[in-house]
């Protein structure tokens, strides 16, 4: 996962470095402070327990359930550790002061038991080369473990009758890379059957899902770091379009589901399910706006308010998660009045973003802090292109369905 900003804020967004206009790039700090580790260790221990609980299937005999949970937790935590220490080691190589990973346990609320991990960058990333190395090292290290684990895990997965998993079964999204791995290593799946992933395959799928999110070329996610290292300040304009495309994904996904039902003569009876299955991109549109605010240094945040971004963190979180909660409550509801109210609420939120938030043409909310102007060189440029290509290969139009 991305890194926390320097010590100017205690918020938990991706790594942030001060704006070049307010704090020009500084040389790396050679004398890094001693590593604190106790909080990191306790959070990691809590995350181990949380992930074990997420992987535990109470329908199985206790020994089999515990073995399955251990396989899921071991594979997922290995991928996340590889990702985070990829960032950490690259930061140390470039003498950028970085913390150990802070893992984020999320028991019961997440099907994975965790929100991943973050690291805190305590000094400025000085050059585009360092920015690329630190940004790309995490996703590439995590994928180096996730890909073979998925190949092994899917080869040990079993086809099951469609619907046999009941209401608890998640419909996991697919991507070009996942389909290729399924074709090469997975068993044949007859008509009327679906593939039930083994615990290791599910953990590897989770690792690739997390990597896909991190590789979004927006703001100060890992993909934003890599894209800024490759394109320089032009990336700020690209990030705006990528961010707005998330709204397009939401509406296109919803429209495609509804159109399919209409052609089948089902009308809008399953609208609630389709909204919930498309909601991921709408929620992440708002989450990235929140992370953009939290990643800005205090002076930059004040300037952002002065230039028109008036929504703030609480309004965005209330709007996004309020809509998500209401959609979950209305999932099985076909009332036009109820869903009409939901879409009115969505419209109000988007109008607020257009008038005073990230949909404004002049918004700088997702701009990346400047680094030194040194070019990457052909070798590092190729690494940047390959890293961003992994985002395209991992992209899932509907990551999780219910």
3-state secondary structure at position 376 = coil
Ordered per-residue pLDDT tens for the chain, 402 residues: 555 554 433 333 333 333 333 344 444 444 446 778 899 999 999 999 999 999 999 889 999 999 999 999 999 999 999 999 999 999 999 999 999 999 999 988 888 999 889 888 888 888 999 999 999 999 999 999 999 999 999 999 999 887 666 545 578 899 999 999 999 999 998 888 888 999 999 999 999 999 999 999 998 899 999 999 999 999 999 999 999 999 999 999 999 999 998 898 888 888 999 999 999 999 999 999 998 888 766 545 555 554 456 788 899 999 999 999 999 999 988 888 899 999 999 999 999 999 988 999 888 889 998 888 888 889 999 999 999 999 999 999 888 876
DSSP code, position 21: T
pTM score, whole prediction: 0.86
> What does the DSSP 8-state code read for residue 166?
G
Angstrom distance (rounded) from CA 234 to CA 178: 31
Q: Are 104 and 116 in contact (CB under 8 A)?
A: yes
22: left (phi over 0), alpha (psi -120 to 50) or beta: alpha
Contact 157, 188 (CB under 8 A): no
């Amino acid at each position: 996962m991305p890194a926390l900003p320097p010590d100017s804020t205690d918020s938990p967004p991706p790594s942030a470095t001060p704006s070049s206009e307010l704090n020009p790039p500084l040389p790396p700090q050679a004398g890094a402070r001693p590593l604190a580790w106790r909080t990191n260790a306790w959070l990691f221990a809590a995350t181990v327990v949380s992930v074990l609980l997420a992987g535990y299937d109470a329908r199985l005999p206790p020994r089999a359930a515990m073995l399955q949970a251990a396989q899921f937790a071991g594979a997922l935590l290995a991928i996340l550790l590889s990702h985070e220490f990829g960032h950490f080691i690259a930061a140390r190589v470039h003498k950028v002061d970085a913390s150990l990973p802070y893992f984020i346990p999320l028991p019961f609320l997440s099907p994975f038991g965790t929100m991943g991990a973050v690291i805190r960058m305590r000094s400025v990333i000085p050059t585009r080369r360092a920015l690329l190395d630190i940004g790309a090292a995490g996703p590439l290290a995590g994928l180096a473990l996730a890909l073979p684990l998925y190949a092994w895990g899917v080869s040990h997965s079993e086809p099951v009758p469609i619907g046999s998993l009941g209401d608890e079964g998640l419909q996991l999204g697919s991507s070009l890379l996942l389909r290729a791995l399924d074709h090469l290593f997975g068993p044949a799946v007859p008509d009327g059957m679906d593939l039930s992933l083994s615990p290791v395959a599910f953990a590897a799928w989770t690792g690739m899902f997390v990597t896909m999110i991190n590789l979004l070329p927006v703001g100060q996610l890992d993909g934003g770091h890599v894209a800024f290292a490759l394109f320089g300040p032009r990336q700020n304009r690209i990030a705006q379009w990528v961010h707005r495309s998330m709204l397009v994904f939401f509406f296109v996904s919803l429209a495609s589901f509804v159109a399919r039902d209409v052609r089948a003569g089902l009308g809008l009876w399953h609208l609630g399910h389709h909204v919930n299955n498309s909601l991921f991109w709408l929620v992440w549109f708002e989450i990235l706006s929140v992370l953009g605010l939290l990643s800005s240094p205090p002076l930059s945040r004040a300037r952002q308010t002065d230039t028109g971004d008036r929504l703030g963190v609480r309004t965005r979180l209330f709007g996004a998660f309020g809509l998500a909660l209401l959609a979950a409550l209305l999932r099985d509801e076909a009332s036009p009045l109820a869903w009409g109210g939901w879409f009115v609420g969505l419209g109000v939120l988007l109008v607020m973003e257009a008038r005073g938030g990230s949909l404004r043409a002049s918004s700088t909310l997702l701009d990346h802090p400047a680094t030194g102007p040194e070019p990457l060189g052909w070798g590092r440029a190729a690494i940047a292109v390959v890293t961003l290509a992994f985002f395209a290969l991992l992209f899932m139009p509907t990551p999780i369905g219910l």
